[in-house]
Structure 1
Amino acid sequence: MRRIDYDTEQYHDYVRGRALSEQQMAAWIGAFEGLLPGRRPLAGLDVGSGTGRYTPALAQAFGPVTGVEPSVRMREIAQQQSRHPDVRYLAGSAEDLPVPSGSADYALMFLSWHHVEDKPRAVEELARVLNPGGRLLLRENFSDHIPPSGWWLEYFPRGYEVDAAMFQPLHEVIATFTTAGWRVAGFGRVIEPSSGTRGEMLERLRLGVHSTLAHFTPDQLETGFRRLEQAVAADPDAPAPADPATLLTLERGS
């Protein structure tokens, strides 16, 4: 899998290309709320926080949040975007979290696990920084849960196959954690509401900020966008389908 360097690509269009509606954000915060303790505040980590799509909303809902992001450019944008007093962003990665041991009640990794290079090391680090019983909300796609994402993938040659190749099967991810003393606290799907119209989605896809697009060949991209444009042109104002997204919840051992 080609490694994406977010300091040289995607960062400049990421906010616009991956923007969330109020309904989408509400769906995710509601899902997280059902998986976290009811007391407030909770100290949170947003690991692989990118441009800070979720960090301020997490702080608003649960309490102070530290966004950890290796990309300098993505962190700069996140800091410019957020003025929430309970949010901070630090340089770091899942394998090297720049926070004290036992300092977080939960961590969120939203479509960032597949970017982690040393996964066993990340599991150790996440266990170190979470309190006993702390939870990891792992929003990730899994290669054995097809389609893993995106209605638009059907228009690209080998679209679902290329996308699935980016991700591990669910059992493999679970084994990485459970062999290190974690337990599975839940697994299910969150229905992410429509992102807008098909026409609007096409314009965002053209920005190239979906990681899957970086793994298509130039010919596949050309063919896929041509097919997608033809399909969208028939009814550009039709709503894009809602996305059934997989969410794995893991709990740190005591």
Structure 2
Amino acid sequence: MVDYNGRLGAVYAAGRRMAAAEVQRWTQALAEHLPAERPLSILDLGSGTGRLTPGLADEFGGPVYGVEPSDRMRGVAEENAVHPQVTYLQGSAEDIPLPEASVDGVLMFLSFHHFPDQLRGLTEVCRVLKPGGVAFLRSQFADVMPDLFWYDYFPSAREVDAAMYLSVPETQNLARRAGLVPDATPVWVFAEKPRTLLETYDRIKLRALSTFEHLPESELDPGFERFAADAERDPDKPMPVHPGAILLLRRPTTP
């Protein structure tokens, strides 16, 4: 598990920030799978610093609930990601502070792998969704991992990331046990904007990705030295953009 009340919580907002256009691309991708009427109520489960939460309110009209267990991350959101239709709540995936059948959609944006009890978390997601509601599980999956170029600087990074995530079939099986109906395959979304090598280095050097919490210290300094040298040598080199996977999970309309 990762301590988001510690170092990672201090660098997360800067290292994982999203441009407004990127937020809009994600929220519009979700809107394609939800009813057209507005307003819709949305739960941002594991909302962190609120980088997507106000955008969900803009897209769906609110109310939007950002549930986050880390006091530090939630405090950043309450200060910097304010919206009249957004309420941030202390809670966890295993204990969501919302009533039964109270939201139209649930977003789990790169938070599912942090759930201490993933089955219980999905069972809670099913509970708070309205019948017919949709949960969006935005995650990496062990069987369809992207080949990120910066893995080359840190020899253990691929293995560390793959070990963090379940495969698509494993996730689908957990969802079914929780009472949800998963789609057969993930939806792939190109939302991230292209970045140069230097822009990518400037983000990753903050170590705001949980991957770096699990790498051996012996890899960090040499890896970042090589990364920095390459970024200085060829700063404008365009980096590949990988689509993000979202697995849709639906609460049945009838028990």
TM-score by length of 2: 0.93
Name the residue aligned to 1:141.
Answer: 140
Instruction: Establish whether residue 12 from structure 1 lines up as the match of residue 25 from structure 2.
Output: no
Partner of 1:192, secondary structure, is: coil
Alpha-carbon distance in 1 for matches of 2:90, 2:194: 30
- Cα distance in 2, alignment partners of residues 192 and 42 from structure 1: 22
More divergent stretch after superposition (176-185 vs 69-78): 176-185
Equivalence for 1:112: 111
Q: Deviations over 1:36-57 (max 9, x none)?
A: 1111110000000000010000
TM-score (norm 1): 0.93
Shift of the alpha carbon at 1:29? 1.6
Structure 1 runs (4+) deviating above 3 angstroms are: none
Query: 1:156 touches 1:227 (CA, 8 Å); kept in 2?
Result: no
In the other structure, the counterpart of 2:232 is 233
Q: Distance in 2 between the 1:71 and 1:181 partners?
A: 27
Check conservation: 1:101, 1:130, Cα contact below 8 A: yes
Question: What's 2:182 paired with?
Answer: 184
Identity %: 42
My pick for the range that moved more, 154-163 or 12-21, is 154-163
Structure 2 CA distance, aligned partners of 1:156 and 1:232? 15
Q: 1:98 to 1:195 in 2, by over 3 A?
A: farther
- Look up the match of 2:50: 52
Q: How many residues align?
A: 251
AA at the equivalent of 2:220: L
Displacement of 1:9: 2.1
Native 8 Å contact 2:139 2:246 kept in 1: yes
Code of the aligned partner of 2:15: G
Show structure 1 runs of 5+ residues with no match: none
1:97-150 Cα shifts (integer Å, max 9, x gaps): 0011111000000000000011121122111111001110100001111226x4
2:32 is the alignment partner of 1:34 = yes
- What's the secondary structure of 2:21's corresponding residue? helix
Q: Tell me by how many angstroms 1:179 deviates.
A: 2.7
Question: Is the 8 Å Cα contact of residues 46 and 109 (structure 1) preserved in structure 2?
Answer: yes
1:221 is aligned to 220
